[in-house]
């Protein structure tokens, strides 16, 4: 059986007619950049997320970049980011000649650890960027408290978490000063190319974001500030306006798939029910939502990724690949270990949880169109690997005793 990591053709097939019509409408309008389709998308998303302003931009990376520009981040300013995230979270900081300061993650949720974050604040710190990794909210209450205490701004990297909720139903991205989203094709709401969104409840920031999106010109050709070309294409908005209608149902299906995985991992004896956060002789799989319940979270996780923690991660991954199953490692190298950030002279031992995560995480296929048979097959393959592996271990132990 084949189980790809993601199957966008299956999604397209399910809504082909609507998408094709939207593409034709976009072609016939010959309106290519910003315009009515983008405005419609911005309005719908502001409504769905429950915020005052939504501004469509060219990518999730540019959403982060324009957010920092709107907050007037200058060379030498410090911005705190988790060391365990997609590269863009740190890359945008360095591109403004500001200094990325890395914080370790919580070993349970893999989101930034608020305590570790606080001890890295200096007089130069201006912004904190929590990331809602894999589609699960970071712990925003303590982060917002710390930010208020030190007069820092908060930019949420919600690229993987559109529609996810924190605590009482608050949508992520709307809690900090600016929220950033990505429409990269593999995200829960993915376009037919690059795209992104910034959201805010602040009138002045919304105005700044709109001006920075078009090179900082307002009126056109008169520049008080230097912006860039951060515009969203109409054709992307046309596709996203169709897909938006299905977003909640798709996220719900991802959650059902996650629940089935976890149930099967527990049934097969590979994982334990209650939030187990360390390996022992019994479990070889640590489940994302077991740990999430254990932490007392009541958040709405949208499972952009279903990431288990396993021993012998690279061997299991190879076994799954050979069995026709697509997997991925998000992320194999934390920022403090990246060559391009060697100049920051970070101490590796300062980041034990991120190091652990980078060595043990494995993302399994979780997309909405997966069948129960496919999920069952993935769990069976992990189980097969574990049985073969322990049989081999017993065999070599016996041989060791004989010699
Ligand atoms: C995808 C992603 C981004 C960047 O989004 P792009 O649209 O690919 O530029 C930023 N941060 C995180 C956490 C992401 O997953």
Q: What is the pLDDT of residues 58-105, one digit of tens each?
A: 999 999 999 999 999 999 999 999 999 999 999 999 999 999 999 999
Residue 279 pLDDT exceeds 90: no
Q: What is the pLDDT of residue 365?
A: 98
230 lines ligand 1 (CB under 6 A): no
DSSP state of 246: G
319 lines ligand 1 (CB under 6 A): no
Tell the residue nearest (CA) to atom 5 of ligand 1: 60
Coil/strand/helix, residue 247: helix
85 lines ligand 1 (CB under 6 A): yes
CA 71 to CA 78: how far, in whole Å? 13
**Phi, psi (rounded to 5 degrees) for 162:** -65, 120
Q: How close is the Cα of 331 to the center of ligand 1, in Å?
A: 13
198 lines ligand 1 (CB under 6 A): no
Q: How far is CA 309 from CA 15, 298, 350, in A?
A: 34, 21, 21
Task: Give residue 395's pLDDT band: very low, low, confident or very high (50, 70, 90).
Answer: confident
Q: What is the pLDDT of residue 271?
A: 87
Angle at 294 between CA 288 and CA 299, to 5 degrees: 70
Of 361, 379, 118, the closest CA to residue 262 belongs to 379
CA 315 to CA 8: how far, in whole Å? 27
Q: What is the pLDDT of residue 145?
A: 97
CA 300 to CA 168: how far, in whole Å? 9
Q: Which domains does the chain have, with CATH numbers?
A: 8-103+110-246 (3.40.640.10), 247-402 (3.90.1150.10)
* Paired sense of beta strands 165-166 and 125-128, if any: unpaired
- pLDDT tens, residue by residue, 321-377: 999 999 999 999 999 999 999 999 999 999 999 999 999 999 999 999 999 999 999
Q: How close is the Cα of 23 to the center of ligand 1, in Å?
A: 25
- pLDDT tens, residue by residue, 210-269: 999 999 999 999 998 999 999 999 999 999 999 999 999 999 999 999 999 999 999 998
Report the DSSP beta bridge partners of residue 190: none
CA atoms within 13 A on the CB side of 5: 17
Q: Where are the beta strands (DSSP E) in 225-360?
A: 285-286, 306-310
- pLDDT tens, residue by residue, 165-186: 998 679 999 999 999 999 999 9
Instruction: Write the DSSP assignment of 322-345 as a string of letters.
Output: HTTB--B-S-SS-GGG-GGGGGG-
Return the percentage of the chain with pLDDT > 70, whole number. Answer: 95
Of 146, 135, 92, the closest CA to residue 111 belongs to 135
86 lines ligand 1 (CB under 6 A): yes
Q: How close is the Cα of 189 to the center of ligand 1, in Å?
A: 12
Q: What is the pLDDT of residue 292?
A: 54
């Amino acid at each position: 059986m084949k189980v790809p990591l993601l199957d966008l053709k299956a999604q397209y097939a399910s809504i082909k007619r609507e998408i094709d019509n939207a593409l034709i409408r976009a072609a016939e309008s010959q309106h290519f950049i910003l315009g009515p389709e983008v405005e419609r998308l911005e309005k719908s998303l502001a409504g769905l997320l429950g915020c005052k302003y939504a501004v469509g931009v060219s990518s999730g990376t540019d959403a982060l970049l324009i957010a920092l520009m709107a907050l007037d981040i200058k060379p030498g300013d410090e911005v705190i980011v988790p060391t365990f995230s997609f590269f863009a979270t740190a890359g945008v900081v360095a591109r403004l000649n500001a200094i990325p300061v890395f914080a370790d993650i919580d070993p349970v949720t893999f989101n930034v650890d608020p305590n570790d974050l606080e001890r890295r604040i200096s007089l130069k710190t201006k912004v904190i960027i929590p990331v809602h990794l894999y589609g699960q909210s970071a712990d925003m209450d303590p982060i917002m408290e710390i930010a208020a205490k030190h007069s820092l701004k908060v930019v949420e990297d919600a690229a993987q978490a559109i529609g996810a909720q924190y605590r009482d139903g608050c949508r992520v991205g709307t809690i900090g000063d600016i929220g950033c989203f990505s429409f990269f094709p593999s995200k829960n709401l993915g376009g037919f190319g690059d795209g992104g969104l910034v959201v805010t409840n602040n009138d002045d920031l919304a105005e700044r974001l709109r001006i920075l999106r078009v090179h900082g010109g307002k009126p056109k050709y008169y520049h008080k500030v230097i912006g860039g070309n951060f515009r969203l294409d109409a054709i992307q908005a046309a596709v996203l306006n169709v897909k938006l209608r299905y977003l909640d149902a798709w996220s719900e299906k991802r959650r059902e798939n996650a629940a089935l995985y976890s149930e099967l991992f527990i049934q097969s004896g590979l994982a334990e029910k209650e939030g187990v956060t360390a390996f022992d002789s019994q479990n070889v799989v640590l489940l994302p939502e077991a740990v999430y319940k254990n932490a007392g979270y009541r958040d709405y996780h949208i499972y952009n990724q279903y990431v288990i923690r396993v021993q012998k991660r690279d061997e299991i991954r190879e076994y799954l690949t050979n069995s026709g199953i697509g997997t991925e490692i998000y992320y194999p190298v934390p920022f403090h270990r990246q060559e391009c950030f060697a100049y920051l002279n970070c101490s590796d031992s300062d980041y034990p949880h991120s190091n652990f995560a980078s060595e043990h995480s494995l993302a399994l296929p979780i997309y909405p169109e997966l069948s129960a048979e496919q999920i069952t097959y993935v769990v069976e393959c992990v189980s097969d690997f574990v049985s073969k592996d322990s049989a081999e271990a017993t065999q070599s132990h016996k041989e060791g005793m004989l010699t």
